[in-house]
Amino acid sequence: MDHGGRVERAFSVAGDLLLGAACPGCGRAAVGLCPGCRALLAEPEPSVTRPEPCPAGFPPTVAGGPYDELLRNLISAHKERQAWLLTPALGRRLARSLAPLVDLAGPGQVRLVPVPSSTAAVRSRGRDATGAIAHAAAARLNRERRGHPIRVVRLLRPVRRLADQSDLTETERHTNLAGAYAVRRAGSADAAARLIVVDDLVTTGSSLTEAARALSVAGLDVVGAAVIAATVRHSGPRTAARLSDR
């Protein structure tokens, strides 16, 4: 056996591990989320948010804070690079947005309904990122609260292939999502529960509006929506750039 070769290989593996040990929030050397990013993530107070312009039927929505660079890095690492170690931290942030809505819902049964990703997106990522964050948030709230356990139910499914929302203008987003979600048959306990729609982000409000609309049309009771972060809308250069793209 070539001892030297084995040692070399062992060092190379250690090197890969060290190089890979960067905080997904700031890129500094750390295993997982560094303490600084963890503190920043817990800093903002959740607040009621409304997109501008606000689509008709937009549900009362609580956001965990602004969609800043930290959140952009974390949500993208979680969704696109399968950084599942971030699920509990993002779930904690979502739980903070959910708390006032759970209070508003009152003492009955509460269900969290994740906005569905397109089936193709879930297949390529191997896991439903939003659903995983919803489960982590529910687990956290259930540890903190008495009363009926809060459960996650996937009552919504996409009825057709959706274009990636991030590539679309605001008007295109509304059109892309009109009638986009179908409601699965709810069990009797779920049908009687108060529902909170959950998603990672709110931008134009199209997804949350369409999700709440589909559930309400099916006769279900939607209290509101909770998201991890809300984007700050830029109506200046970005819109101009989009218009000149045409």
What are the residues binding Zn ion (CB under 5 A)? 23, 25-26, 34, 37
CA separation for the pair 18, 191 (Å, rounded): 49
Q: Residue 211 corresponds to which amino acid? A: A
Query: Which is nearer to Zn ion, 75 or 101 (by Cβ)?
Result: 75
User: Quick check: helix, strand or coil at residue 244?
Assistant: helix
Question: At closest approach, how far in Å is the CB of 67 from Zn ion?
Answer: 17
Query: Which is nearer to Zn ion, 21 or 159 (by Cβ)?
Result: 21
Question: At closest approach, how far in Å is the CB of 36 from Zn ion?
Answer: 5
Both structure tokens of 139: 């687990």
CA separation for the pair 77, 140 (Å, rounded): 22
Nearest to 159 by CA among 180, 183, 135, 128: 180
Query: Which is nearer to Zn ion, 37 or 228 (by Cβ)?
Result: 37
Tell me how long the chain is: 246
Query: Which is nearer to Zn ion, 25 or 224 (by Cβ)?
Result: 25
Question: At closest approach, how far in Å is the CB of 34 from Zn ion?
Answer: 3
Question: At closest approach, how far in Å is the CB of 87 from Zn ion?
Answer: 17
Non-local CB neighbours of 142 within 8 Å, separated by 6+ positions = 149, 150
Query: Which is nearer to Zn ion, 25 or 205 (by Cβ)?
Result: 25
Residue appearing with tokens 């979502």: 94
CA 104, distance to chain mean position in Å, is 21
Question: At closest approach, how far in Å is the CB of 76 from Zn ion?
Answer: 14
